Chain A
Amino acid sequence: MAQYRKERLDRPIKARCEDIFALTSMREILYLIFPRALLIVGVLIFPLLKGVVGLYWEKVLVITCVIGLLSLSWDLMAQVGLISLGQAFFFGVGAYITGILNHKFSLPPFVTIPLGTIGGGIVSTLFLLPALRARGVYFSILTLIIPLLLSRLIEATKIFGGTEGLSGLTPFQNFWIETYLPIFALLVCLFGFRRLINSDYGLIVQGVRDNDRIVMSIGINIYKIKAHILFISSLVGAFAGSFITHYYRFVGLPAFALDYSILPLACAILGGPGSFAGALVGSFILVPLSEVLRVLGSLRVVFYSLILAVCILSLPEGIFHYIQRKYHQFERIVEI
């Protein structure tokens, strides 16, 4: 009579290290590809279901992607040990550069968005370069202050439209472009960042976070590494701002609002920092959740905050890391 025992699905493919896999069959490849494919196919198909889910939820998807981008950019900075409380700074600078270019010079979106992204990246990086010397919480406070300072400056000096902002900007005029652009950007960032952080360069980046004295002692300028990562992060944040400017056809003080600093951080913490996928999972939970809770009327924020608090307390490692662990613990019955 045949005997059976349980075996973990990941058992045969783990080789020596936690993250080196030896794949020998199609089934094992599928096992690893499935979660990634689920995400990619899911977000790519969603806009095609416009007729079923309605335009409202398509807009929610776009906003989710934008917050997801900010969340990824926060997570990347956290990888080098820079804990930012001011993702709104990158977002706002990108948004304003794009808005001004479109408003003053009537440039079309396919010109203003790349310019706003690169310009926003350069401006915010230069602005924060002196702050890179500050460590830990001191850096965080600096990033928190800067967007608040800029929004007050615009309010007081009435430059760039002051409190009114700049409105009537050029729309995308095409549903497919305005929906797929943030989706593609999100997927490129997610897989790009994961690749970057697993490369040898990524090891240095994590090294700066874990023990910067060692990294200095082997002859690597840690401020250069921090500046590189800051630049990449601010590019992504500025892109999100540039995109939203044309999506809303408006840029104003809300671009520097605290929401764009705190929400991406909450998403990354809820999903689980350090994996990028966690940041994505977080934003795909928090943003739609906030929309679902609208039925509760004025108690929306109360329930929203409660759910957030319970999740963070019960799953401190982050939702993504929890799911990942459970996924690798799946068992199958094998014949002995």
Chain B
Amino acid sequence: MANVILKVANLCKYFGGVVGIEEVSFELKEGELLGIIGPNGAGKTTLINLITGFVKADKGKVIFKGRDITNLPPWKIAQLGIVRTFQLVKPFYRLPAYKNLVVALCSPRVKTFRGGKYGKRDETALNLLEDVGFERDSAVPYKQASDLPHGYLKRLELARCLALRPEVLILDELFSGMSIAELGSTLPIIKRFKEEGKGVIMVEHRLKELFEVADRVIVLNFGKIIAEGTTYEILENEDVRSAYLGAEEEEAINA
């Protein structure tokens, strides 16, 4: 039985009178990949913002390894090892790709697993980029981020998170806009990361790829969890179908 690494309990967030997230609770175990899906505006990104401290919760708790981290500032949460990507990729466009990672390697967290030292950042950055598929001996890692195609930028996001050796990796629509070939090289990285006993939370619209790696899936709609279970259970769930496709019978009656 694997340990619970991250626990979310009764989390609530209201924007004025609008429900962002309401009474959301779930657990993430070591070595588990939890998928979060839901229609647009369901509150998936808000949930991530709440866990990582970018948005302050109105109610509820986020517990990381037994420690209450609710409403800590984002940098404290990142230092503890909960690291996220952003849905809209906005890297440091003026910097070369590898320098983008050098910034991440300046994080205080890097010192903790390098024996109080930062080491050679440029070298480490190039190695990390090679891991996510930036061709080592080409000019790609040295290109300005503004000149890189979207797929590379997405993988740069992933590399930036992996640079911090996170305990919990949160990916906000990492796969959107990636080509099939890019997906093929990225999925094994995430699988390998999971097998090291770390937790992964993935918000995703590309269900086929998500279901390939997810152990468990949560479905959000209007800020609430409407279904939770294995990928098979989710696909069979009536509520999920109606949330995504609309309730057909009712519409037929009204018409």
Contact = CB atoms under 8 A, between A and B. Distances in A.
Interface of A: 16-18, 200-201, 203-204, 206-207, 210-211, 213-222
A204 B103 CA distance: 6
A218 B78 contact: yes
10 nearest CB pairs, A to B: A219-B78, A216-B74, A219-B79, A219-B107, A218-B107, A218-B104, A16-B142, A219-B109, A221-B75, A203-B103
Interface of B: 52, 54, 73-76, 78-79, 83-84, 86, 90-96, 99, 102-104, 106-109, 121, 139, 142, 144, 160, 163-164
DSSP majority for the A interface? helix
A126 B107 CA distance: 25
A214 B96 CA distance: 16
Contacts of B79: 219
Contacts of A218: 78, 83, 103-104, 106-107, 109, 160, 163-164
Given A203-B95, A222-B75, A215 B139 contact: no
B243 to A, nearest CB: 29
A217 B78 contact: yes
Given A210-B90, A219-B83, 18 more contacts: A200-B103, A203-B106, A206-B94, A210-B93, A213-B86, A214-B92, A214-B103, A215-B103, A216-B54, A216-B75, A216-B78, A218-B83, A218-B164, A219-B107, A220-B106, A220-B107, A220-B108, A221-B73
B121 A16 contact: no
Residue from A18, A200, A214, A221 with most neighbouring chain B CB atoms (10 Å): A214
A216 B79 CA distance: 10
A206 B96 CA distance: 13
DSSP majority for the B interface? mixed
A78 to B, nearest CB: 14
A203 B106 CA distance: 9
A204 B73 contact: no
B52 A217 contact: yes
Given A210-B94, A211-B92, A214-B92, A219 B108 contact: yes
A207 B109 CA distance: 17
Contacts of A200: 102-103, 106, 121
Contacts of B52: 217
Contacts of B160: 214, 218
Residue from A211, A213, A218 with most neighbouring chain B CB atoms (10 Å): A218
B139 A16 contact: yes
A282 B73 CA distance: 40
Contacts of B104: 218
A203 B105 CA distance: 11
A17 B84 contact: no
Contacts of A220: 75, 106-108
B74 A217 contact: yes
Contact of B75 (A18, A206, A207, A219): A219
Nearest to B53: A216
Contact of A204 (B84, B90, B96, B106): B106
Nearest to B49: A213
Nearest to A209: B92
A218 B163 CA distance: 9
A13 to B, nearest CB: 16
A207 B74 contact: no
A69 B144 CA distance: 31
Given A17-B142, A214-B90, A201 B73 contact: no
Given A200-B102, A203-B99, A203-B103, A219 B164 contact: yes
Contacts of B144: 18
Nearest to A224: B75
B106 A214 contact: no
Contacts of B92: 203, 206-207, 210-211, 214
8 contacts: A17-B142, A200-B106, A203-B99, A204-B103, A217-B74, A219-B107, A220-B107, A221-B75
Contacts of A16: 139, 142
A292 to B, nearest CB: 37
Contacts of B91: 211, 214
A218 to B, nearest CB: 5
B182 to A, nearest CB: 21
Contacts of B163: 218
Nearest to A20: B142
A202 to B, nearest CB: 10
A271 B158 CA distance: 38
A18 B146 CA distance: 14
Contacts of B76: 219
Contacts of A222: 75
A207 B91 CA distance: 9
Nearest to B122: A200
Nearest to B145: A210
A201 B84 contact: no
Contact of B86 (A204, A214, A219): A214
